[in-house]
């Protein structure tokens, strides 16, 4: 298995991805640009990745036949969907190289395990308590209030979270969330949020994209800004070092995103990890010499990992379905012709047929010669869209 896993898989081979969302679509498109064939496993007929892939296996993540078909077609497999059952990754790993490993994905899928991993790596995270039983609920220390109750599993884009200030609210919140395993996190005073994408190869080589500054709206990423002077140098260094140790601690192979909070007193705190390319790394498609999706391809094929170089200051604007409902209750395409008249705008749309509020439809990567130029263009684009 060792030989099999460290062999270079050259273009011409078929690469598989579990999950048919936009991350899988951009992975497939990147792999194809490099000369690979692609296979997507997702039961949705019109999944964004399935629509652009050479092969589309329409099965659930746990369907043994679907998984066997994927293994038969592919030289290596990766994932784009965080909640793909770790058992399916383990099963595939019996017959072909799989990255990231099921064991790492299992930790990222469970906030309690994830936080325990941060503690193990000595990377500071928010003070927290695990709540799985009424006894643990009753034993919660008051210093964690006000706080946020988060379901341990399946949360994303702010879903599965309730903010609480009192013990009564905490008790009600746990009831509301269906008494499923949760973590309670102390509410921290945030100055800003940032994230780091790292990529680690099977030989332990590790590289990172520059630290991204993220702005969320209603729990969903809205804007990512990446340019010099955007963040204090000490925090940039700390965030990169912390992200690397989190990846090394997991013996991680693949692309990993590590999200951080910077607190009002300047302290850096890790928030969560995603075992795949991340929305906050999309700017790398147009602003870096190697994108996060190419890093994913290189990791899974054992191609060399070179340290990415950002060649342009960049701002990414997320394009949510809300933009399609600007002046009417019926969905209407935003004025792309006006947006694309601005210099340095790269439009990425995911091929989703129905625009819905809060649904991620695409993103706009803006690059320019200077941060000021990029900011000016982003303001103009936002004015046209919003």
Q: What's the CA dihedral at 373, 375, 380, 386 to 10 degrees? A: 160
DSSP label of 342: S
First to last CA, the chain: 52
Minimum CB distance to ligand ADP, residue 287 (Å): 22
Minimum CB distance to ligand ADP, residue 370 (Å): 28
Residues 6 or more apart whose CB falls under 8 angstroms from that of 309 comprise 288, 289, 290
Regarding 190 and contact with ligand ADP (CB under 6 A), the answer is yes
Site for ligand ADP in 30-89 (CB under 6 A): none
Regarding 216 and contact with ligand ADP (CB under 6 A), the answer is yes
From residue 31, give the alpha-carbon distance in Å to each of 70, 93, 170, 297: 16, 20, 46, 6
Minimum CB distance to ligand ADP, residue 284 (Å): 20
Q: Which stretch binds ligand ADP (CB under 6 A): 25-33, 68-76, 183-191, 282-290?
A: 183-191
How far is it, in rounded angstroms, from Cα 197 to Cα 211? Answer: 8
Please spell the DSSP secondary structure of 103-136, one letter per residue: HHHHHHT-HHHHHHHHHHTT--B--EEEE-SHHH
Task: Give the 3-state secondary structure of residue 9.
Answer: coil
Minimum CB distance to ligand ADP, residue 22 (Å): 16
CB atoms within 10 A of CB 93: 18
Work out which of 5, 44, 69, 157 binds ligand ADP, going by CB under 6 A: 157
Regarding 188 and contact with ligand ADP (CB under 6 A), the answer is yes
Q: Which stretch binds ligand ADP (CB under 6 A): 147-155, 247-255, 341-349, 359-367?
A: 147-155
From residue 72, give the alpha-carbon distance in Å to each of 7, 37, 76: 18, 13, 10
Helix ranges (H only) for the chain are 2-6, 22-33, 64-73, 86-93, 102-108, 111-120, 134-138, 167-176, 233-249, 284-287, 292-301, 336-339, 371-385
Work out which of 66, 155, 210, 308 binds ligand ADP, going by CB under 6 A: 155
Work out which of 271, 279, 286, 292 binds ligand ADP, going by CB under 6 A: 271
Work out which of 42, 80, 110, 193 binds ligand ADP, going by CB under 6 A: 193
Regarding 156 and contact with ligand ADP (CB under 6 A), the answer is yes
Task: Give the 3-state secondary structure of residue 307.
Answer: coil
Q: Which stretch binds ligand ADP (CB under 6 A): 149-157, 248-256, 284-292, 343-351?
A: 149-157
Minimum CB distance to ligand ADP, residue 31 (Å): 26
How far is it, in rounded angstroms, from Cα 311 to Cα 227? Answer: 10
Minimum CB distance to ligand ADP, residue 147 (Å): 7
Site for ligand ADP in 251-270 (CB under 6 A): 259
Work out which of 34, 106, 121, 187 binds ligand ADP, going by CB under 6 A: 187
Residues that bind ligand ADP (CB under 6 A): 126, 148, 150, 155-158, 185, 187-188, 190, 193, 216, 219, 259, 271-272
């Amino acid at each position: 298995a060792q030989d099999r896993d460290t062999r270079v898989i050259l273009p011409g081979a078929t690469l598989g991805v579990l999950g048919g969302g936009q991350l899988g679509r951009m992975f497939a498109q990147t792999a194809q640009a490099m000369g690979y064939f692609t296979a997507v496993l997702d039961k949705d007929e019109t999944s964004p990745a399935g629509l652009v892939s050479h092969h589309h296996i329409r099965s659930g993540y746990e369907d043994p036949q679907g998984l066997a078909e994927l293994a038969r077609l592919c030289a290596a497999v990766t994932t784009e969907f965080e909640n793909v059952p770790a058992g399916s990754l383990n099963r595939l790993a019996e017959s072909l190289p799989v990255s990231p490993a099921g064991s790492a994905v299992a930790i990222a899928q469970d906030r309690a395990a994830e936080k325990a991993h941060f503690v193990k790596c000595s990377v500071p995270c928010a003070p927290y308590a695990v709540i799985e039983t009424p006894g643990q609920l009753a034993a919660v220390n008051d210093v964690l209030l006000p706080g946020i109750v988060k379901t341990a599993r399946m949360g994303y884009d702010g879903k599965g979270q309730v903010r609480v200030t009192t013990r009564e609210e905490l008790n009600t919140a746990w009831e509301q969330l269906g008494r499923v395993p949760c973590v309670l996190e102390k509410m921290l005073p945030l100055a800003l949020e940032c994230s780091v994408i790292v990529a680690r190869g099977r030989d332990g080589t590790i590289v990172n994209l520059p630290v991204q500054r993220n702005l969320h709206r209603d729990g969903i990423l809205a804007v990512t800004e990446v340019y010099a002077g955007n963040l204090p140098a000490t925090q940039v260094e700390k965030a990169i070092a912390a992200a690397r140790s989190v990846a090394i601690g997991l013996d991680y192979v693949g692309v990993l995103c590590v999200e951080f909070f910077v607190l009002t007193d300047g302290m850096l705190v890790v928030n969560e990890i995603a075992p795949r390319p991340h929305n906050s790394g999309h700017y790398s498609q147009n602003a870096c010499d190697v994108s996060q999706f190419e890093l994913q391809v290189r990791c899974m094929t054992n191609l060399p990992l070179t340290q990415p170089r950002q060649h342009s200051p960049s701002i990414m604007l997320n394009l949510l379905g809300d933009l399609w409902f600007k002046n009417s209750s019926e969905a209407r395409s935003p004025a792309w012709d006006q947006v694309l008249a601005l210099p340095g705008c790269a439009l990425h749309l995911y091929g989703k047929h129905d625009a819905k509020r809060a649904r991620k439809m695409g993103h706009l990567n803006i690059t320019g010669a200077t941060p000021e130029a990029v900011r000016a263009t982003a303001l103009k684009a936002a004015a046209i869209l919003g």
